Structure 1
Amino acid sequence: MRIDWTALPEAVTKEVADRVGGSHIIPATAGDHAEIAATVTGTTGKVFVKAARTDFGVRSLRFELRVSEAVSRSHSPAVEWYFEAAGWLVVGFEHCEGPRADLSPGSPDLDLLGEALTVLSNTPAPDVPLLSPKGRLGFEHPAMDGDTLVHTDLGPANLIVTPRGLRIVDWAMAAKAAPWVEPAMLAPWLIGAGHAPEQAERWLALQPAWREADPGVLNYFAMRNAQKWASKSAGSTAAWMHDLAAWTSQLASYRNSR
């Protein structure tokens, strides 16, 4: 659960201020993986800071740190620094300035996303402990296994269009899987952005990883993903869960009807 910057002990806030040259704080408005997430501005510029102190929060942030260090490249923000103090793990990431990607039909941001998908589909998983497909999704199929780095959460909140191009943020749920798993997990987000299921799949077909996937396996994936979100949303009032349940259901129904 996200908590306020003022909850940090002085030893942590002073260390951050010393590194950034100031501490003008703007809390993040999206995401909930880190207990603390904020843009910090000082004389050296801006840094996006995440911090955690609970066992789960520290494990998650340490995982994201290791993956981010391993994959820091044109489409992912660099790790500027990190430290531990007063029971907190604190990580400073490259600040990515810009709007969230627009994934609606015809958006120019889709071209940027397509380029990023091509890069990711050819990116071997780094030598760090990554989630398995089953560990990330809760279901499995032998065809889901592979050696490719898969972000697994390419919703608009994690896609920032900067003056230097698209940046993919929040690698806390990265997995090691077959390359087609990434576009398969992206499909519901395209539907949520206004694509009909057939439009979404037509766009995904521009990716070799999607074209080369077994249609039967894609059917299985769509069905199991829809079942998962239907089950999760049934016990939740969170709007985003119900959205994903609706989008994954549309995709599964479309594939089942073909």
Structure 2
Amino acid sequence: MRDDARVDAMRETRGTLQRQGRFLTFEGGEGAGKSTQISRLKERLNAAGIEAVVTREPGGSPTAETIRELLLSGKVKPLGAEIEAVMFAAARADHVDETIRPALNAGRWVLCDRFADSTRVYQGEAGVDPAFLDRLEAVAVGGYRPDMTILIDVSPEVGLSRVAARSSSDGTPADPDRFETDTKEVHMRRRQLFLDLAAAEPARFVVVDGSAAADKVADDIWQAVCARFPLDLGHAGPAAPDPARDRIGG
């Protein structure tokens, strides 16, 4: 290859890398405040000149939203936790194909409210074999795994009190979904499973204390994102994950 052709190829490669999107997922129990914090992070990314796509699971694409209605209504629950896991995987596969992959390929950041970790926690707590969940995840995500996962950690008491205070669009109390009605003991086990996942993958997870005021949580998340992706956001400083640093606010 001629020198000028090699330089052109290098420039094209650098351009591709610069346009590459980032995939951030938010996890946590019921009432953790994920939706609020995703919205705030999107605003800060937009202000930094980064286009971000907000999406959710289950859902995020037309077919996946249809599956979401079935899952959260409780209609699938009588079929058992394994079938629920399969349904989540089916929704996830469509979500990746229709929303996540195109956004990342276009250089956008994707901020996703729940992803495969929620299946590991929710269906894992219900007794589904981890090896079965591994196989489902491999098929569903197609290699698209989060660059960073933000676990907003709150106690079940705090989370469920927030859920109870939610209102629907007409001001009346919102009906809880299929998972919000589980017992406090189930919520406690799920919280621990999320923390176990974070401890097992400190290079990917950041744990944030979600019981703090929303402004404080938003600031903690922004600091963690800037530390993890300093080149993308124009900040100097180490990008390498540090478990001691990445346990924030708690």
TM-score by length of 1: 0.27
- Greater share of strand residues, 1 or 2? 1
TM-score by length of 2: 0.28
- Greater share of helix residues, 1 or 2? 2
